[in-house]
Amino acid sequence: MSQLPVIVGMGGVNAAGRTSGHQAFRRTVLSALDADTQASTLTGLAAMMRLVNTDGSSPWQDTSGQSLDAEQIVARYQQQVLDHTLIRRIEDPMFGADGIPANRPAQLSIEAPLVFHVRRRQLPEQLPETWQVRELDRRHVEVTVPPGQFDVSLPERRGAQVRTAGQLPSGFEPSSLYRSVHHPRGLSMAIFGASDCLGQSGLDWETLRDRLDPDEIAVYAGNSIGQLDDAGWGGLLKSYASGNRATSKQMPLGYGQMPADFLNAYVLGSVGATGAVQGACATFLYNLRVGIEEIKSGRRRVVMVGTADAPITPEIIEGFRTMGALADDDSLKALDALSLLTDADYQRACRPFARNCGFTIAEASQFVLLMDDGLALETGAQILGSVPGVFTNADGWKRSISAPGIGNYITLGKAVSLARDILGEESLRTRTFLHAHGTSTPKNRTTESHVFHQVATANGITSWPVVAVKAFVGHSQGSAAGDQLVSALGSFAHGWLPGIPTLDVVADDVHAERLQFFAEPLAFEADAAFINAKGFGGNNATGLVLSPSVTERLLVQRHGQAAIDAWKDRREPILEASRNYEAGADRGHFQALYRFGQGVLEGPELSVEADQIGIPGYAQPVSLAVENPFGSLGDAHRDSDHTNDEQ
């Protein structure tokens, strides 16, 4: 019997807040929540943003030390929290009025000798033949350039043409939570996301690891375009042009698989399977697919899956802008018929399935911890849902590498077929919803809605609810489907689907006949969600996620009611540990796990045998037994040789 991959932990961060405790989800349905839940959401975000603090036992305090209660926090900081979460104007100063630092090549015509003084170390390594250099002192020289043509780069400030993004909540800096030394932002976010996932799970990682063969654990994590800020490949690639030295960390830390490497080396200490699958905007689902297939086959029992993307840099934004993919300021103003002297409505920049002009870039880190259902029952792990299938297909022949194609019809069709087999026709038609890729580009609103319409028609679905969470948090590239997945888990827990608040009117070219769009949160008890992703290059993926209640019904069918009752008893301390973690996080106490230099092994310490390898610090050895599905030639080959000798 195939193992059922269940979700036993989730963690991360995006523009809406922290993933654990469904904080980010609650921010997207804030208006639908009761007063107490609204207040706890706002105070938790205020603590995350360092507007208030507490040592855990004393009352809340503002930054001046004044004591506050929850009601006072909400009254004082609510608007600040609302204004500095979700999509908003980019808060990095280089995107402001002074502009982005740049250089412009120029050729000067010098009519008379040009004389200047400069530090010796700032001279080019190879001086032009016509330059005359005179020493002034040990550190300075005088340079004379004769009349003629002189090539220079003139420093300038270029006004940002895109000023909106889905940034992490203001004041939250993941690198400040552990000993980060020149780590790219995406890797700091990965450390936080994985730590948040483990904390939310309520499981003790060391205890869990000790009961398993180390090779029964796997990590599949990455991102869509690597680490391209200055601490990663971004700084490396522009080091010559910028005049800065490349560092020894920029090259290795820039790789796209580095989130998985960081988790293995500094968070989990895992020696099991590892990898990162890049699939553009579908990257999270591509890695999730590998993880669940490993569990379904029985090769792994625990898998951490995730992504961390930090693409809010001038260069990446400019790349997407020149493609015509991003919603730039001028296009947003034209869309709303605003004067060029008026600021665009930055918080409404992303408008899935409405009249729109491009996507809004964002940063996010999302991780889930998967187990096979048998181990989850044995350990008493909480079960947030299950993922029976993720499907990926390419587009075939394409006119443009970035244009959408036909693969998404196949992926969604397969996911719906699996859901129908598990849930039945009635549940499929009335108790499932779509988490759309919903990028807010004119092409996406037409093509993705047509995919939904065709699959709905084929399956007799007449009013399929559509969620497009990018309207709140923007497009976090490879982490986008992770944002969608954890939002779906929030819907299962709270019974609300986030609306599309920027959807004033559905665009005329959207195929909406069988789809249900809504601007405000919708009360909806769901059995399953479809997580849809359409990536550049033809990277299509759709995942089927089952609710906790449906998952429990499957577990009763697979293991019997007695096993489920016993699991619920074992689950109580896990739930208590999870609640304690979330309570601390709501007060701004985060446990970023980062174990640099601990338990390092290099080989001589191992106990190597023919059938297993013992590793100091790991309770169970690694089994070297592998399945051989091809048959053995060893004995037959020896017997054949012996027979030939006798003849």
Tokens 């005179």 -> residue: 134
Strands 132-135 and 140-145, how do they pair?
antiparallel
The pLDDT value recorded for residue 36 is: 96
Q: Does residue 483 contact residue 474 with C-beta atoms inside 8 Å?
A: no
Tens-place pLDDT, residues 304-343: 999 999 999 999 999 999 999 999 999 999 999 998 778 8
The pLDDT value recorded for residue 343 is: 87
Tens-place pLDDT, residues 470-492: 999 999 999 999 999 999 999 99
Tens-place pLDDT, residues 397-445: 998 888 889 999 999 999 999 999 999 999 999 999 999 999 999 999 9
Beta bridge partners of 302: 217, 371
Tokens 């028609």 -> residue: 457
437 is catalytic: yes
Res. 208: pLDDT tops 80: yes
Res. 56: pLDDT tops 80: no
Tens-place pLDDT, residues 104-133: 999 999 999 999 999 999 999 899 999 999
548 pLDDT tier (thresholds 50, 70, 90): very high
Res. 1: pLDDT tops 80: no
Range list of H helices, 522-609: 548-559, 561-586
The pLDDT value recorded for residue 98 is: 85
213 pLDDT tier (thresholds 50, 70, 90): very high
176 pLDDT tier (thresholds 50, 70, 90): very high
- Determine the average pLDDT of the residues in 524-540: 96
Q: What residues contact residue 287 under an 8 Å CB cut-off, 6+ apart?
A: 220, 221, 222, 276, 277, 305, 306, 307
How high does pLDDT run on average in the chain?
94
Helix/strand/coil for 506: coil
499 pLDDT tier (thresholds 50, 70, 90): very high
Higher local confidence (pLDDT), 291 or 647: 291
- Determine the average pLDDT of the residues in 550-574: 98
Res. 81: pLDDT tops 60: yes
Closest to 442 in 3D by CA, of 518, 326, 346, 355: 355
Cα(90)–Cα(94) distance, integer angstroms: 9
- Determine the average pLDDT of the residues in 140-157: 93
Instruction: Write the single-letter amino acid at 142.
Output: E
Cα(529)–Cα(495) distance, integer angstroms: 13
For 516, which DSSP code?
A: E
- 646 burial (CB, 10 Å; 0-12 / 13-18 / 19+) is exposed
Query: DSSP secondary structure string, 595-628?
Result: -TTSS---STT-EE-SSEEE-TT-SSPEE-----
**Cβ-based neighbour number of residue 415 at 10 Å:** 25
Give the side-chain half-sphere CA count within 13 A for 542: 28
Residue 392: which H helix or E strand, with range?
Answer: strand 385-393
Q: Which of 281, 435, 453, 511 is catalytic?
A: 281
450 is catalytic: no
Q: Which of 84, 437, 453, 511 is catalytic?
A: 437
Cα(402)–Cα(38) distance, integer angstroms: 40
Tokens 């200047």 -> residue: 116
The pLDDT value recorded for residue 65 is: 82
The pLDDT value recorded for residue 643 is: 54
The pLDDT value recorded for residue 431 is: 98
Cα(493)–Cα(436) distance, integer angstroms: 19
The pLDDT value recorded for residue 644 is: 55
**CA dihedral for 478, 10, 183, 270, sign (positive or negative):** negative
- Determine the average pLDDT of the residues in 532-537: 94
Res. 177: pLDDT tops 70: yes
Strands 607-608 and 612-614, how do they pair?
antiparallel
**Cβ-based neighbour number of residue 106 at 10 Å:** 10
Res. 180: pLDDT tops 80: yes
639 pLDDT tier (thresholds 50, 70, 90): low
The pLDDT value recorded for residue 53 is: 83
- Determine the average pLDDT of the residues in 10-35: 98
- Determine the average pLDDT of the residues in 522-545: 97
Q: CA torsion angle for 204, 207, 213, 217 (degrees, to 10)?
A: 10
Give percent of the chain above pLDDT 90. Answer: 87
Strands 164-166 and 87-89, how do they pair?
antiparallel
- 121 burial (CB, 10 Å; 0-12 / 13-18 / 19+) is exposed
Res. 528: pLDDT tops 90: yes
66 pLDDT tier (thresholds 50, 70, 90): confident
The pLDDT value recorded for residue 403 is: 83
Longest dimension (CA), the chain: 100
- Determine the average pLDDT of the residues in 371-384: 98
Range list of H helices, 395-521: 407-423, 425-430, 442-458, 470-473, 480-494
The pLDDT value recorded for residue 184 is: 97
Res. 637: pLDDT tops 60: no
Q: Which range is least confidently modeled, 49-53, 217-221, 363-367? A: 49-53
Chain-centre distance of CA 6, in angstroms?
Answer: 19
Pair of tokens at residue 481: 């489907």
Strands 17-18 and 607-608, how do they pair?
unpaired
Cα(216)–Cα(321) distance, integer angstroms: 44
Helix/strand/coil for 124: coil
55 pLDDT tier (thresholds 50, 70, 90): low
The pLDDT value recorded for residue 636 is: 59
Tens-place pLDDT, residues 597-633: 888 999 999 999 999 999 999 999 999 999 899 998 9
Distances in Å between the Cα of 530 and the Cα atoms of 7, 389, 456, 481 are: 15, 10, 12, 10
Cα(182)–Cα(218) distance, integer angstroms: 27
Closest to 168 in 3D by CA, of 356, 283, 274, 27: 27
Pair of tokens at residue 348: 């409404």
Res. 642: pLDDT tops 90: no
475 is catalytic: yes
Q: What residues contact residue 418 under an 8 Å CB cut-off, 6+ apart?
A: 388, 389, 544
